[in-house]
Chain A
Amino acid sequence: MNFYADSDYPVRDDLAAIHGSQMETLGAPGTWGTGAQRLAIATVARKAGIDAGLLEAPADMDFPVDLGLPDIALRVVERLAVSPADFDLAFYEESLRGGLSDCEFVEIVGLVARATNIDIFARGIGVPLRPLPAAMPGEPSRVRPGVAVTELAWVPTIPNPPEGGDEAVALYGPNPKPYIIRALSLVPEELRAHLELEQVQYLPLNRILEYDFQHHEGLTRAQVEVVAGRVSAINECFY
């Protein structure tokens, strides 16, 4: 069944499918977090959005009082969920001093960004927030890319080819990619999930320079850019 079968507005099958499958990953073991920890991150992000008035709580949603996340992780999740314009280098460094590793920090950023994305979409089309998944058992893989180095982001990233080697080619393809493509490369699993959504929700990245390419029924590319630009302006995203 379509993940958004209750919507009054048509939702493309590929979009519904990717949201359904990515929702499941929020409760599955990742690279650094267990299923329970990742689900807690998605839950805290959602609760922060509800508390801030940016989301509406589903009637049957019950939030546990203690989700078992360390205080610094809670603060990172809450701030990123409701106030992305207020993130700065000092807060990142405070997060590391508070006990998060750079890899854990990147995984949290990816999870919050994806969970918020799905929740905002549901709110946008006027359906209740989708149920969060159950936490799945298993251990995180804890694999750090050997080629990740400090470039110009706060967090280490896998350089473009050729410096990034085979891992870079596998993630980015043979040609150099901008930072928004490489931002989460310290946790390749999160990078791939981010790009999966990008291809479906914005447009296929190999067609980004085709300005007359129409990916969304009812919207020209110029109309798409109006929405994209306005949202990023409100979020004060310089990128």
Chain B
Amino acid sequence: MNIEALIRPELDSGVPGGELLLAFADAIIGTDRAALDAARTALAEGLGPAAVSGAASVAANFSKNDRIANGVGIPVDDMVMKVTEDIREQLGLNDYRSAVNTFRHSAD
């Protein structure tokens, strides 16, 4: 998988149907209802009707997790920080506002 596509969805993710899933993910938490309707239809045609509820389930679940993580200020666990150094740098994740919830402990 080309994980840079998660930040720049115009790139090829290398995952079958990736462009359909990226468009659906953008639309389901976006404000353009027509774009969501179009993305849903395209996803069903491309990966099958069950993929729509599956993708909606995952998108909704991670919307929940993002609200929990950002809402109570949890840090990324040490082990994960160690193995994601290159990825975080590549994707610019260290610049996210919520990154401070982890980095504020760095001097401890």
Contact = CB atoms under 8 A, between A and B. Distances in A.
Query: In the complex, which of the residues A106, A110, A152, A217 has the most CB atoms of chain B within 10 Å of its own CB atom?
Result: A152
B92 to A, nearest CB: 10
- Among B7, B29, B57, B73, which residue has the most Cβ atoms of chain A within 10 A? B57
Interface stretch (A63-71, A84-92, A134-142, A166-174): A84-92
Interface string B16-58: 1110011011101111010011001000100111111111111
A232 B62 CA distance: 7
A56 B65 CA distance: 22
B68 A183 contact: yes
A34 interface: no
A226 B13 contact: yes
Contacts of A81: 67
A86 B68 CA distance: 13
Contacts of B3: 229
Top-3 shortest CB links A-B: A124-B56, A216-B54, A154-B73
Nearest to A217: B50
Contacts of A178: 77, 80
A180 B51 contact: no
Interface of B: 1, 3, 5-7, 9, 13, 15-18, 21-22, 24-26, 28-31, 33, 36-37, 40, 44, 47-77, 80, 91, 93-94, 96-102, 104-105
B102 A113 contact: no
Contact of B71 (A15, A109, A118): A109
Interface string A20-39: 00000000000000000000
12 contacts: A7-B53, A9-B50, A10-B50, A54-B29, A84-B66, A92-B72, A120-B29, A124-B53, A216-B50, A234-B26, A239-B65, A239-B66
Contacts of A56: 33
B54 A117 contact: no
A11 B5 CA distance: 28
Contacts of B69: 179-180, 183, 237-239
Contacts of A118: 60
Interface in A164-190: 178-180, 182-184
A154 B15 CA distance: 37
Contacts, number: 263
A67 to B, nearest CB: 20
Interface of A: 4, 7-12, 15, 52-54, 56, 80-81, 84-89, 92, 105-106, 109-110, 112-114, 116-118, 120-121, 123-126, 152-155, 178-180, 182-184, 194, 197-198, 200-202, 216-220, 222-239
A236 B98 contact: yes
Given A80-B67, A226-B1, A239 B74 contact: yes
A202 B58 contact: yes
Given A152-B75, A239-B98, 18 more contacts: A9-B50, A87-B73, A92-B73, A106-B72, A117-B61, A117-B64, A121-B59, A154-B101, A155-B72, A179-B74, A179-B75, A183-B69, A198-B65, A227-B21, A231-B28, A234-B26, A238-B98, A239-B76
